[in-house]
Every structure is written in structure tokens, then in C-alpha cells.
Chain A
């Protein structure tokens, strides 16, 4: 494995070695030679370095549109149709519409928990649009119950956009938010912890970064499967705060040393709940870490949906074609939070671009806003009337089969219910909300 990686890069390294082009500030004499087993050259001048770019500057952001939706100089504007652009835009708008209604739903106490994703619409929709519908996606949600951030671009994240892009219904979203019996996870998890096997969307869990080493295994499985090799990639999303966890490091190692079609997408929105980047890490963002693991890396303006789409598409293409390879590609995104909070809304940016093409106007905007709002509210109200899962589902799916201890404990609860359910109000109230009122359990 190591040998093949070196082989691939040998021309570059040979050049570096023979030219004596090293990381020192002065050219090294070739007579100093190379260090055996590392393929890196030896130098005589002691010099420290602290930047992955040759000139010591920060890693630049890849961008297509500026903050006003105008293609930048030299921009690689993707050839997309009006219909596709509208699809991007509509999905981007659906996210804050959902956020508005579900967030206030939580404040009103109508749903137990919610996390918004304001400001990250371009990141997630752009990525989703660049992936295939059956690429495996692993995500996380970070939740911030501090409503101060609710309207800023620094809010917590969920990759619900991927699900929406792939056709997950509003009813499905609501089922998970309410934890009613239509929820595929049977009401077991708090809100925004989506799971959809059908949509190749792995179950979200609360511990951060645990999904990063897992994606390396998912990608490895894709590569080993003759039916999916060279067709699909595994993609993981995580925030810059999660990237501080040991699992990030472990995941990068596994993904880079074991060949697999794996993409790692880090969303850096400047804050992890209340912790700014300056308290989270000291290096040049998360992007600087990629080359440390030998991974091809790009930093992208996360508020630019076209830039995100281009970058993920390119990364995906490289990774899935080289299924017998080698490198996983790390893709980094970044938003300059403070500067852009006022000027740079990803949705606005793209709308301006669409308007410049004659693909969108004020009427379209009004119509979309009211339609989305209407659909979301309708789904919300419907979900509110749906009962919670059966009490029996507290005990099922722990193992593939039911072991004696769980069976006995279930029987114990049944006996307690028989004895107290009619006279103990807290239980009475709860049972009323359940699909079968606890009946199935007693049978």
C-alpha cells in the first residue's frame, strides 16, 4: 500500500529530491543526498515550516460566484439547465422554511427537539447535487440550543438537504421531528437524527466524528462489491469542531491508508456551538490537515452552491474512477462567518445568479415561498396528530433476536402497567399518546 502510493508520486518526489527542492528557505545542495526509506531529500540548513502552501500563505478558497452571484474572473461556471438551477434553488429554500417552522414548533413545545442549519444551504445542497442518489452518505448533526445562533450563518448543521434532494418526504422529516409511529427509527432518537436505508443515508447519531472512521469502512465495502465498485462513493460530512475528535484523525488514517472511494467533507462555519475557530484549532483550518494525511484537498467557498457542486463532482469523479486506488479525497469548505453574515447569504447569492440569467423573478420568489411554507405547515400539522410508536418498540431491535433479560423486563413492565396504568396519571397521559395505548405490550 505504502509502496503504491509512493510509486504514484515518485516523479514528483524524484524531482524534489534531485533538485534539492525542499522546504528550507535556501536551495539545498544535492550532495546532501536523500534520506533512505522516506524518499525525502536531506538538507543542511535547519528551517521550520508551518504552511502547506509553498509560499506560507493560507490555503485559498475555490469559488465560482461572488457574493452578488456574479461569476468571478476565470470562473468555471457549470453548464446547468434552468430546470436544474430551479431545483437547486428550491431545495435550498426548503431548508430555512423547514427550519423556521420546526424551530418555532420547538419553542412552542410542540416538538421535543430541533436543530437548524441556517447558512449552510449551499454546502449541503451543492454536495447532494454532485453525488449520485445511491452514494452512501454519513452525517452528523450538531445541535445548539442557543437560539442566538439561529439566524446566523454560524448555526448548527444537519445534512437534511441531502435527504430532501434525494426525495425524502416532508412527512418523513416530520415523523422524525415528532417521533411518531411513522418514524422509521420508531421514535427512538431526538430530532434531526434521520435514517434512511432507501436513500443510502446512514443513521445520524449524536456522538460527533464517530462516522468518520465508519465511512472508510463503507467506502471499502463499496470497493469490494463488484456491483458498486467504480460506480458509487462513500461520503461523510462533519463540522470543524467534530474534526477535533480522535475519530477524525483515526478516520483520516483509515481512509487514506486503505484504498476506497471515500470523500470527506468538512464544514467550517466558524463556530462549534459557542466555540470560535480560534479556540478550536491553531492551524489553517481543517484543509491544512488533509495533506498531512496524504489526501488531495480543496478548500471551497461554502456559500457558493456552484463552487461546492463543482468541487464535489470533481472529487467524486476522481475517487470513483480510481477504485483500485489509493487516495481518498478530502474536500474542505469554509465560510468567512463574521464578514459575510450580512452580505453573503448563499441563497441570495444563487438567486442573483439565476436572475441574471433570466431564470427567476419576483413572482417566482413569492410563489415558491408561499408554496413551501404551505407544504411544510401542512406536513407539520398532519404529523402532530399522529400517535407515537407502540410501547413494545422500546424493547425491540436491541439484538436481532430477543434475549431473556429483555423479554423478562418487558414482562415486568406489563405487570406494572396492569397494576398502575389506570391510577397513575403520568403513565395514563403518556399511554394516550402511543399508537396502541400500550395494549400490544400487554398481549
Chain B
């Protein structure tokens, strides 16, 4: 009860901060947070040309590129706009598709469903009562009848009441029926990860809890283009998918996003920056802290320079975005580690039981004799996400930098 009120309070608080901001160099924090790593990232595709060259993009309409006068269009979108764009394409093309969850109808607490109820009607875009287990169960029932059910859990922190439905029912739906029943049409979206002011219950990364639920897929996008393509793939994938959107990126991640229907592949990692000396593997928000860490390594600011040995500054680190967490792209990761011989995994979720352990074990098995350092995991500590301590809890650029240096000089 109190927590639910806190959500609307967060929105109010962030608006108050705007009026008292004193340092004009820093952007005013929004309800969906702010990160300087994100703000300074070079990874966003901010031109139409680069957007259309997104690796792995697969157009889902019948148009051949040559027939489109002037080429395909893009539009500037942030992450929540990309979500909405994907949902509107799904709703437009699939008559059975419905979008539902708490507070969906007015546009959603993160605006991911703005205008959809008006455009597609309240029978297809609607609110549910405040019950995650009800939302998940309802979605499962709908999908069992072959319909496309796009559910929203308002914060990933609240996915746990739905855990039984997702793990005992959704994950096992096909298997337990001998393949006769399935719920591929189910997609469950949830905002995830830290946002700067979320505290214990608006900051969690629960992807690790689902690793044992074979039958489910878990996908985490890093940017608007990625979000749109991966979400459309997730919706159309013949398996139930949990799609976790890093909430701090909702407003702060901005790209030119192709307006057409396109897909990006699930279970395929993406090499963002090629390298040869170390593999840096991550997903979601930490992608940008990793990128920043590499910049600090290669050209450290005067304040950090004394702590960064010159011999390490020329290291070429390969940055990989895992994208799909379950089932994950072992081929790309192992191939990379075989080349670089060193692996650092970064995730916001706590160390113990986090996805990093699973990856480390598998990579260790396959690249044991090639590794020149133990697989290093840089993660949140094994503590709940205390509000005032977030900057020391979630891995930031300097912690990642330090871990890279340690692994390089093992």
C-alpha cells in the first residue's frame, strides 16, 4: 500500500528536483532516472544511416528496401517510445494481441502504453486489478487459446507474486502437455534495474531467479532500437518471454529508431566493441558503465591516471551485450573468450545466484586451459539495494575499470 503511493511520490519528487537544480551541466533527473554514462555514450545510433545499419536487423514487412523511395524512415525515440512503437505494431498486425496490466490504460507509469487504449480500444488495451499473479495467470490463459497476451508487471521488483504462475505454469506449459498445449503468445514486460532513487523495491534485477525455469526466455535490451526489435521478436517467439526493460534508460536512451516493423534475433549476443585482450560481457544499464570504463582505461583523466598503469591503457577490450539471458548465446561468448583469454562479467544483480555464476561456470568448462585469469564477476553486492548507497552498490565505471585492470594483470 505504502509502496504503491511511493511510486507516485517518486514522480512528484523528480519534478521538484528540476526547479532546484543548480549545476546546469547535469541534466535534471527524471522519474526514470539519469546516468552520466548513458548521457555520454557513443553506442547510440543517432543518425538514420547508422540506425538502418543495425546488425542483425530483419525487416518484417513485405517491402523490399529498393521499393522504398529514399530508403526506410527513422524517428527519434527514447526507450519508452520504442516500447510503445513495438506494442502498437504488434496490436496493429495481430488481431488477437492485447496489452494489459496495472495502470496501462492511461498510458502506464512509464508511458510505455501512451495512446494505445485510445487507438486500439479498451477491449485490447486495459487495466487489470492490482494482482501480479492474476495478471500472469490471465495472460497464460489467454495465450493457451493461441492469443497474443502482452502483460506488464509494473516493476520487476513485483514479479514475485507471479513467480508460481511463471515457473510452475508458464515454463512447463508445453512440456507437461506433451507438446499439445503451448503459450508462445505470452510476453511479460517489466521495468528493471536501478534508477538512481529506487531503493529496495524499485531497483531490482530478478533475471537470475528465472534461470532455472527452463521453458521461459528472458530478454534485456540496452537501447531503443534494441528494445523495439527484441520486443517484437519476443512477442512473436513461440515461447513465453519475460522482457525486462532497464527503467533508467526509458527517457535517457535516445536513438533514431526505424519506424517499420523489424526484428532482432533472440539468443544472440552482440559484440559492441571488438577487442583482443579481454572480453567484457554485460547487459542492460551496465553496458554504458562498461563503455565508460573502457574510455577511462584508454585515456584516463588526470585524476585517475596515476592508478592506471600505462601498459594497460592500450588494452583492447571486447564489449559484448548478452541481450538474451535465457537461453544465452554461449557460442559468441566462448568464441570471444577463446580469443581474448580473459572474461569479466558485469551485472547489477547481486553476486550470489546471479547470472554471472552460470556463465562463468560454462565458460570455465569450455575455455579452462585457455584462460589466463579467473573469470571475474563485477556485480551488485549481496545486499538489498539500499537507497542511499546505490552509487556504491551497482557496479559503476570505476569498479568495472578496476576489475578489468586486475584481470588484465593477473
Q: Which residues of A contact B (CB under 8 A)?
A: 1, 136, 138, 183-186, 188-189, 193, 195-197, 202-203, 205, 207, 210-222, 224-225, 234, 246-247, 249-251, 253-254, 257-258, 396-401, 403-406
**A193: B residues at CB distance < 8 A:** 176
Apart from the given pairs A221-B141, A250-B134, A257-B128, 7 other A-B contacts in the complex at a CB distance below 8 Å: A185-B177, A213-B140, A213-B141, A220-B141, A220-B142, A254-B131, A400-B182
B131 touches A205 (CB 8 A): no
A188 touches B134 (CB 8 A): no
**A247: B residues at CB distance < 8 A:** 133-134, 137, 164-165
CA distance A120 to B172 in the complex (A): 29
Smallest CB-CB A-B distances: 8 pairs: A217-B141, A213-B137, A250-B134, A214-B141, A221-B145, A217-B142, A400-B238, A403-B327
**A215: B residues at CB distance < 8 A:** 141
**B142: A residues at CB distance < 8 A:** 217-218, 220-221
B177 touches A217 (CB 8 A): no
B contacts with A: majority SS: mixed
> Does B232 make an interface contact (CB < 8 A)?
no
**A258: B residues at CB distance < 8 A:** 126, 128, 138
* B88-128 residues at the A interface, CB under 8 angstroms: 96, 98, 122-123, 126, 128
Known: A188-B175, A217-B149. A210 touches B165 (CB 8 A): yes
CA distance A354 to B179 in the complex (A): 43
> Closest CB-CB distance, A229 to chain B, in whole Å?
12
**B134: A residues at CB distance < 8 A:** 213, 216, 247, 250-251, 253-254
CA distance A212 to B182 in the complex (A): 18
B180 touches A184 (CB 8 A): yes
B178 touches A184 (CB 8 A): yes
Q: What residue in chain A is nearest B122 (Cβ atoms)? A: A1
B177 touches A214 (CB 8 A): no
A185 touches B176 (CB 8 A): yes
Q: What residue in chain A is nearest B165 (Cβ atoms)? A: A210
A224 touches B136 (CB 8 A): no
A254 touches B239 (CB 8 A): no
B178 touches A188 (CB 8 A): yes
B168 touches A207 (CB 8 A): yes
B179 touches A397 (CB 8 A): yes
A250 touches B131 (CB 8 A): yes
**A234: B residues at CB distance < 8 A:** 141
Q: What residue in chain B is nearest A262 (Cβ atoms)? A: B141
CA distance A95 to B10 in the complex (A): 58
> Does B395 make an interface contact (CB < 8 A)?
no
> Does B144 make an interface contact (CB < 8 A)?
yes
Q: Which residues of B contact A (CB under 8 A)?
A: 96, 98, 122-123, 126, 128-129, 131, 133-147, 149, 161, 164-165, 168-169, 172-182, 184, 214-215, 217, 237-239, 267, 327, 330-331
CA distance A17 to B161 in the complex (A): 39
CA distance A264 to B129 in the complex (A): 18
> Closest CB-CB distance, B291 to chain A, in whole Å?
28
9 contacts between A and B (CB under 8 A): A203-B180, A203-B181, A213-B165, A218-B144, A247-B133, A249-B131, A258-B128, A397-B174, A399-B214
Residue of A1, A136, A250 with highest tally of chain B CB at under 10 A: A250
Q: Which of B96, B128, B146, B180 makes the CB contact (< 8 A) with A195?
A: B180
**B136: A residues at CB distance < 8 A:** 213
Known: A253-B131, A254-B134. A218 touches B178 (CB 8 A): no
CA distance A207 to B140 in the complex (A): 15
A186 touches B178 (CB 8 A): yes
**B139: A residues at CB distance < 8 A:** 217
> Closest CB-CB distance, B134 to chain A, in whole Å?
3
A400 touches B141 (CB 8 A): no
> Closest CB-CB distance, B233 to chain A, in whole Å?
13
> Closest CB-CB distance, B90 to chain A, in whole Å?
15
> Closest CB-CB distance, B359 to chain A, in whole Å?
12
A250 touches B176 (CB 8 A): no
CA distance A196 to B178 in the complex (A): 10
A406 touches B214 (CB 8 A): yes
Q: What residue in chain A is nearest B136 (Cβ atoms)? A: A213
**B122: A residues at CB distance < 8 A:** 1
Q: What residue in chain B is nearest A395 (Cβ atoms)? A: B175
CA distance A219 to B327 in the complex (A): 32
CA distance A195 to B180 in the complex (A): 8
B137 touches A212 (CB 8 A): yes
Q: Which of A211, A212, A221, A253 makes the CB contact (< 8 A) with B147?
A: A221
CA distance A405 to B215 in the complex (A): 12
B178 touches A397 (CB 8 A): yes
A183 touches B178 (CB 8 A): yes
**B144: A residues at CB distance < 8 A:** 202, 214, 217-218, 221
Q: Which of B98, B140, B149, B215 makes the CB contact (< 8 A) with A399?
A: B215
CA distance A207 to B133 in the complex (A): 13
Q: What residue in chain A is nearest B100 (Cβ atoms)? A: A258
B176 touches A214 (CB 8 A): no
Q: What residue in chain B is nearest A397 (Cβ atoms)? A: B179
Known: A186-B178, A217-B139, A220-B138. A136 touches B128 (CB 8 A): no
Q: What residue in chain A is nearest B181 (Cβ atoms)? A: A203
A254 touches B169 (CB 8 A): no
B138 touches A217 (CB 8 A): yes
Q: What residue in chain B is nearest A406 (Cβ atoms)? A: B214
Q: What residue in chain B is nearest A198 (Cβ atoms)? A: B180
**B175: A residues at CB distance < 8 A:** 188, 397-398
**B138: A residues at CB distance < 8 A:** 213-214, 216-217, 220, 254, 258
Residue of B122, B136, B141, B181 with highest tally of chain A CB at under 10 A: B141
> Closest CB-CB distance, B222 to chain A, in whole Å?
22
Q: What residue in chain A is nearest B123 (Cβ atoms)? A: A224
**A246: B residues at CB distance < 8 A:** 133, 161
A224 touches B181 (CB 8 A): no
Q: What residue in chain A is nearest B161 (Cβ atoms)? A: A246
